[in-house]
Structure 1
Amino acid sequence: MSDKNIDDAISWYIKMRPVYKNLANKVESIIREVLTNSGASYYTITSRAKEIESFTIKANKEKYKNPQQEIKDLAGIRVITYVKSEVNNCCELIKPLFELDHFHSVDKTKELGNDKVGYRSIHYVAKLTEDRLSLPEYQIFKDMGFEIQVRTILEHAWADISHDRNYKFNGVLPPDNDIERRFSLAAATLELVDREFDNLAREIVVYGHEVVDKVNKDELNIEINTTSLSNYLDLKFKPFIDREIVEPTFNNKSKEIIDELNAYGVSNLSDLELIIKENTEKFIYERTNFLGLLRDIMMLNNITLYFEKAWSNNWTGIEKNMVKYYVSRGINMSEIIDKYDLSEDEDDDEEDYDFFLDEEEVG
């Protein structure tokens, strides 16, 4: 290709790059919406238009006679999942959304074969469907293609380390000291770890299904852990979760709340069921999550036991609405607040706060 053709290609891409960036953003939004609404698990979704410098380097390669038509990743979208099974699930959801170019799409894992290790990722080359292109906001993208990559976190780490042209591992590695062999061993180890994470994730899912089955049968002699506790609460408080009164998360503190439950004397689901029974409404007085809900369950059942055995100063301060509700349940909040120095939030009005405490005496 002559220098003039290269210059023309670069000028064309400089002009078109904002459109490709817009296309990448649109496709990212489509994929994100579908994966999120379907409940698919993924780590992150990103998009970009190829940088001018990257386009220039690629366009100069001998194999590209017409860079404008032959370079397929001018708009790129990357979906990163936690484990391999999630890659497969995301791919099944993504494929029907677009018109795929099967000739240029590739599964890098299959390209490696069974006797090699290295870069692994699924690449789809695609265009928007005719149905979508018929909408006014998408008509500008007619005949424009994009590439979608789907890979795990560990595959992504390997790709970044081994393919970044500015890093030490790019290109042909020196043969001294078995560097190339050790690099291959590192790739194989990463692949084994990726597979093991996938297997562990599958086993946790299977265990979760077993917990649900046992809970439905009232077989609750199950040790409390994050999975068993989450599945039990999902079923027990389903009406409140469906109404978005209870958020089914532990706020990244599942270990902390399980430690509190164990200190309180609750080590399996049957212990927790004895406290809750069918009185789920009793423990709901405001929007909350599993972390707050479990603390309310313990405190409303026996607040003295909770603070003596489980609290361990894991949280401080107590809100007015919490005080009011606990007082309405006949709990002496003045004594608890004084004994454990549970000072109110700084923006709480002290007189209003004391008023809620006074309701104990009025009641």
Structure 2
Amino acid sequence: MLDAYKVESLLSEVFEMEGLSYHIITSRAKTIESVKGKVSKDKYDKPKEQIQDFSGIRIITYVEDEITKICEVIEKSFQIDLANSSNKSDDLGIDKVGYKSVHYIASLDKSRLKLPEYKQYEGKCFEIQIRTILQHAWAEIEHDKNYKFTGKLPPDIGRRFKILSGVLEMADREFNNISNEIDLISKGTLESTQKGDFNIPISSTTLTQFLSTKFPSIEKSGYKLIPDTDGIVIGEMERFGLNTLEDFNNIIPNDFDETFISAIDEDVYEFGLVRRLLIINDHHKYFTQANTQKFDVWSPTANDQKEYGFFKHYGIDWDDIEQNFNVKICDDES
């Protein structure tokens, strides 16, 4: 039997190299009781050869388009037993709803079996299931409740399950469409900003793309630009009076990129970068209008000469800010 955890780790590495997005990968090895249950159904006359899912890996994605990309990588990375693999969506046909998932029966390909650590797994199969979060939720609920009704639900409840499956399928499709539209916005922002067109409304998506395009030196210096997933700084920008990327671009000093890079020595949060720009542009407006929620505001520690030098370069005195504005100052950037 192939170690399920080893396949899980292998898939994680492959997906990371390919830059694929997904929610989670889990693995399991069939229990002795489960195997005995399969054998007892008289479906197998040679269980060791015919049962192909002693090891199982489940990949949960966020949206349906991720399944397509993951399938392409799996088919490229493993030997697939197409005769025993299936797409449950295709099995449903056009007039039914229900369980949806892609199932592969796979084994390691010849190139990987040449490696000493994998040679022992020659001829060993494993199952890979791929489904979205919503498909997974429906399948798990139906499986659990079916089990409690000894494999068959009362007709009325069974019908309601099928209807719910249809609703979740529609929701899955809409999540996928929204995800694609966000990607299009990001692509459009990239193309526009590269042309110097910043007349684009500020949102989490457009801000992230703008910052990565405007300050490529951050990544070139080996640091990551970490998105503001909560959108807090978007609200601060709006209260500051910035509605478009053009508005934001106009307050960025010409020497900011160089000065900022010289002051950092770790990954950068978007809200830390944006707040610096708002503060050095008009610290009075920032602390009286933009920061109305009184979020903790980072300030340089006494020993952080790089940061003090950065703000001093733009005429900012942190002692004056603490004395004149009713804000809570903390030692760590927030």
TM-score (norm 1): 0.83
Contact 1:164 1:170 in 2 (8 A): no
RMSD, aligned α-carbons: 2.0
Q: Distance in 2 between matches of 1:260 and 1:26?
A: 46
Give the aligned partner of residue 217 of structure 2: 239
Q: Distance in 2 between matches of 1:101 and 1:220?
A: 51
Give the aligned partner of residue 319 of structure 1: 300
Matched, 1:179 2:157: yes
Code of the residue aligned with 2:259 in structure 1: it is K
Offset at residue 101 of structure 1 (A): 0.6
Offset at residue 238 of structure 1 (A): 1.8
Give the aligned partner of residue 241 of structure 2: 265
Q: Distance in 1 between matches of 2:298 and 2:216?
A: 29
Contact 1:162 1:169 in 2 (8 A): no
State how many pairs are aligned: 322
Give the aligned partner of residue 271 of structure 2: 291
Offset at residue 244 of structure 1 (A): 3.0
Q: Distance in 1 between matches of 2:218 and 2:150?
A: 53
Code of the residue aligned with 2:237 in structure 1: it is L
**Candidates 6, 9, 19, aligned match of 1:29:** 9
**Candidates 164, 171, 189, aligned match of 2:144:** 164
Structure 1's 115 and 166: CA in aligned 2 closer, same or farther, altered over 3 A?
closer
Give the aligned partner of residue 222 of structure 1: 200
| Larger Rg computed on CA atoms | 1
Give the aligned partner of residue 76 of structure 2: 96
Structure 1's 343 and 228: CA in aligned 2 closer, same or farther, altered over 3 A?
closer
Q: Distance in 2 between matches of 1:242 and 1:86?
A: 29
Give the aligned partner of residue 185 of structure 2: 207
Deviates more, 1:73-82 or 1:328-337: 328-337
Offset at residue 257 of structure 1 (A): 0.7
Give the aligned partner of residue 323 of structure 2: 338
1:123-164 Cα shifts (integer Å, max 9, x gaps): 110111122111111122121110111111111111111123
**Candidates 236, 245, 258, aligned match of 1:281:** 258
Structure 1's 337 and 115: CA in aligned 2 closer, same or farther, altered over 3 A?
same
Q: Distance in 2 between matches of 1:328 and 1:232?
A: 24
Q: Distance in 2 between matches of 1:146 and 1:136?
A: 19
Equivalence map 1:65-214=2 (5 Å): 65-164=45-144, 168=148, 171-175=151-155, 178-214=156-192
The gaps in structure 1 that reach 5 residues or longer are: 1-18, 347-363
Offset at residue 229 of structure 1 (A): 0.9
Q: Distance in 2 between matches of 1:202 and 1:142?
A: 40
Higher relative contact order (CA 8 A, sep 6+): 2
Contact 1:80 1:156 in 2 (8 A): yes
Q: Distance in 2 between matches of 1:94 and 1:283?
A: 42
Offset at residue 342 of structure 1 (A): 4.0
1:83-134 Cα shifts (integer Å, max 9, x gaps): 1111001111111111111111111111111111100111110111122111
Structure 1's 273 and 213: CA in aligned 2 closer, same or farther, altered over 3 A?
same
